[in-house]
Amino acid sequence: MKFMKTWSNTWRFDLPASLVVFLVAVPLSLGIAHASKAPIMAGLIAAVCGGILVGLFGGAPLQVSGPAAGLTVIVAGLVDQFKGDFRIVAAAVVVAGILQIVFGLCRVAHVAMAISPAVVHGMLAGIGIVITLAQLHVVLGGKPESEALHNLQELPAQIMNLHGPATIIGLLAFGIMVGWQYMPKQIKAVPSALVSVAVCTAIASFGNLD
């Protein structure tokens, strides 16, 4: 009885949250596979296996499992090194996964506790700034540069040359996510990110916006 009560209290939040992660993870997995010159289906299978295995055996009560774009460089290097023989690449990835499991069982990650939290916070803040500078160009209807400094330098020109439909959709998405917190409790059970993506995608599709 206690299990059923706990399950009913958590699935309301876990189910919509997992749907949001799914909407991000699937195209990202396919994109990473394509960028790495690996078979597209390999990206999809890796995302499914990783999501299920990490969810079952991760050992953390709060976590999000998904593809990491930073691994694109590593996988692409393996594909190039072995001249496109993806069987060898897949075997190398499996061995790397086994090593990760072994390291986890040996509690090697506890060494990370020696790193000051300020370093971690600074790294995450830096990543956030880099992503924000790039996404501002996307929201305003432009294309981001490859470096954060270039994105910052080009931002004034981007603001002066707004792409109307893209800017409106971007601001609408932002407005939905900010305003969603003022909705009734029953409605807020649906993640604001999911509502934002659904509404803006529908408007862009039916409006035939570029």
SS3 for 142-191 is CCCCCCHHHHHHHHHHHHHCCCHHHHHHHHHHHHHHHHHHHCCHHHHCCC
Q: How confident is the model at residue 84 (pLDDT cuts 50, 70, 90)?
A: low
Q: Which of 68-72, 110-114, 134-138 has the highest mean pLDDT?
A: 134-138
Cα–Cα distances (Å) from 58 to 21, 44, 62, in that order, read: 16, 20, 10
pLDDT at 140 over 80: yes
Q: Can you tell me the mean pLDDT for 84-93?
A: 83
Which amino acid is residue 101, in one-letter code? Answer: I
Which amino acid is residue 14, in one-letter code? Answer: D
Q: What is the DSSP letter of 36?
A: T
- Rounded distance between C-alpha atoms, residue 46 and residue 67, angstroms: 8
106: helix, strand or coil = coil
**Alpha carbons within 13 A on the beta-carbon side of 76:** 12
- Rounded distance between C-alpha atoms, residue 30 and residue 44, angstroms: 6
Specify the pLDDT at position 138. 85
pLDDT at 175 over 90: yes
- Rounded distance between C-alpha atoms, residue 117 and residue 52, angstroms: 30
Cβ atoms of residues 29 and 47 within 8 Å: yes
Cβ atoms of residues 138 and 144 within 8 Å: yes
Q: Which of 68-82, 116-130, 189-203 has the lowest mean pLDDT?
A: 68-82
Q: Can you tell me the mean pLDDT for 160-182?
A: 88
Specify the pLDDT at position 179. 92
Specify the pLDDT at position 32. 83
| Torsional sign, CA 192, 136, 129, 30 | positive
Specify the pLDDT at position 176. 93
- Which has the closest alpha carbon to 32: 10, 14, 47? 47
- Which has the closest alpha carbon to 73: 37, 101, 41? 37
| pTM for the predicted model, two decimal places | 0.60
Specify the pLDDT at position 35. 80
